[in-house]
Structures are given as C-alpha cells and as structure tokens.
Amino acid sequence: MDETRARAGSSRAPPDPYQDAARRGTLDPILHRSQSTKQPKINSSIMGDMKVRAMKMGRAITKLFHYNRIPPNVANSPYYRAMVDTIAEVGPGVKPPSAHEIGRKYLDMEVDDYWRSLKDHFKTWEEYGCTLICDGWTSNNRQHIINFMAYYLTGTVFVRSIDTSGHRMDAQYLYNLIDDTLDNAADFKATTKKLHEKQESIIWVPCATHCIDLTMEDIGKLDDVRDTIDEGKMVTSLIYNHQFITDLLREMNEGREILRPGITRFATHFVALESLCRAKASIMQMWTSTAYIVLGEDFWNRPERITDLLEPLVLVLKLVDADTKPTMGIVYDAMDRAKVQRKLWDLL
C-alpha cells in the first residue's frame, strides 16, 4: 500500500523544465539537468550562508547581463540553467572559455551537434518531402542575406544562411543556390522554371507576404490615400522633430508611440495611420487653434476610413508573414474573408 502511494505521488511530480524544453522542440540533443547539481537538503543553520552565496552569484550574473546589454529574459532560456548547473558541477579553478574558443572551437562543436540532431528530420524529408522556405533581408551594414529553412510537420528547422552581397541576383545565380523558393520576384520565377525542368515534382508557391505588400503599395498610390499618408507624415514629423512635443504626447497618450515598426515596407504607412487614429484625442489636446490639419474633421475621417478599409488586409498580412509554416493552404480563404468583410475586390 505504501509502495503504491509512493508511486502515485511520484507520478504527480512537477514537470522538469528541461524536459519541457525538449518537448517544445529544442534541437540540442544533450540538453539535460546534471544529477550532481540537484538542490541538496540543507539545515536551517546554514540558510543564512546560502542566501549570502546566492546574492553573490546573482550580483555577478547581473553585472554580466547589464554591462553587456544582454536582455534579462535570456535567463528564461533552458541553456542558461544548463550553463549554471555545469559551472557548479565542474567546480572552482576551471578556466572559462575565451572569446576565440566560444566563436570557433565550441561553435563548431555546436554546429556538429545540430546537424546530428537533424538526422531524424532528414529521414522524414527523404520519404515525404518538405517545403524549403527562403527569406531574404538586408542587414544594417547593407549585406544581403538569404536564410533557408525547411518545413515539415515535425517543425521548421534552419538549413543555412548565405551572404549574397556582391552577386547579381539573376536566375542563374539563384539556381545555383536553391532547389525551391517562395518569393514571386521575376528572378525567382525564372529560377523555379529552371528547377522545374530538372525536377518536375517542384512546385512554385509565391510569397503571400510580398503579394499583399505589393497590393498595399498600389492602394497607397491612390490620390486620396497618398494625400492622407503625406499629411500623416507631416503631423508625425512635427511631433517627433521637437522633443517637448514628443514628451507631451507621450504623457497624454499614456506612453504609447505613434511610430511603430511595420510588418513590411508599405504596411508601415497604414500602421502609422492606425496609431494616429488611436491617439486622435491626445493629439488634439496638444493644440487649441494652431493646427488646421490636426483639428480638421476631414483629416481624421480619411485615416479612419482607410484604416477600416485595410484592417482585414493587414490581418491577412500578419497571418502569412509568420515563418512557422507554409501559408498556401490558408491564404486564399483568408483573402476571401478579407474581401467579403470590406469589399476590397472592387478596389483591387
């Protein structure tokens, strides 16, 4: 009877966070809790000393985070706890790795472990195939990077990243880089055609995010929309070019900003218009009679109308912009719902 109760009690033990991380798809095959670093039973007489040591460790770790601009939420990573446990396990006197070792020696080891952990994925891809997703972006120093990710039901995994700076992005160059693509640029179309001639099973799927972004670009060229965007830019420039006005707006708008990062290049304008509409009361409170555009109802009516018109399209854009899985199976239904909701079809 006691043995049965003991087993039942152990089955209700709280889940191990390291096991939770593994179930969520952590690719590190060796992430585990060290058995030698479990919290030992301690007497109340040494509780004070434990608190002092915990405070000392906390101060040292906090200095590392803050003086190197490491976000505090990095401590939520399972690798953070694994690092602390490993340091406690090896004990004092062990020389920590240098910057060179972290960036070269141990990085190479991590890459090797990563590829070994993907062997099960490779077997699934060989049997059922997969979707290769490419994502091109430009870094702060103007490097053009293309990331390649493979998707299947087991999840999305990173394959490789290529710096294409200095190369002409034509069909022949892309053909040498990729086997499939989800962008609808002309060069990518030509690349897919060449690939299809070699492998007929390849299916070209256009990038839904890029298509919707181009649609929003065309909408932004309409006279009424373009004029409204220009006036909105004038208002935001007036606010953010003067620190006193910026601080005053933040105070009246409960700290919320008007300018926010957009999903895509052309979606930024409509996100800014939406923010202006939400901050309408706060902005109008800053002036009483000096700004005709801000106090004129015609200005506020147009952004609100354009925001209502494009809100379904922005929601679809957020849906298809996620890199977690292909969107071909949901984009058509999502667009149909958007067109029915706001009758965009006549406009498009």
Kindly report the pTM of this predicted structure: 0.42
pLDDT at 132: 74
Q: Which of 39-48, 162-171, 308-317 has the highest mean pLDDT?
A: 308-317
Alpha helices in the chain (DSSP H): 2-11, 17-23, 47-67, 78-90, 99-100, 106-117, 119-128, 171-175, 186-198, 208-220, 223-240, 243-252, 267-278, 280-285, 292-295, 297-320, 328-342
Higher pLDDT, 123 or 54: 54
User: Which H/E stretch holds residue 46?
Assistant: none
Residue 297 DSSP SS3 = helix
Phi, psi of 31 (to 5 degrees): -70, 120
Least reliable range by pLDDT among 82-96, 137-151, 170-184, 196-210? 170-184
Collapsed DSSP state (helix, strand, coil) of residue 327: coil
What's residue 101's pLDDT?
A: 93
Structure tokens belonging to residue 312? 């379904």
For residue 62, pLDDT beyond 80: yes
Q: Buried b / exposed e across 327-336, counting CB within 10 Å, b at 16+?
A: beeebeebbe
Taking residues 52-56, report their average pLDDT. 89
User: Residue 181 — pLDDT band, cuts 50, 70, 90?
Assistant: very low
| Cα separation, 71 vs 207, whole angstroms | 32
Measured CA to CA, the distance from residue 205 to residue 320 in angstroms comes to 13
pLDDT tens-digit series, residues 234-259: 888 877 887 777 777 777 777 777 76
In whole angstroms, give the CA distance from residue 118 to residue 150.
11
Query: How much is the pLDDT for 12?
Result: 42
Overall average pLDDT of the 328-347 stretch: 70
Question: What pLDDT score does 10 carry?
Answer: 38
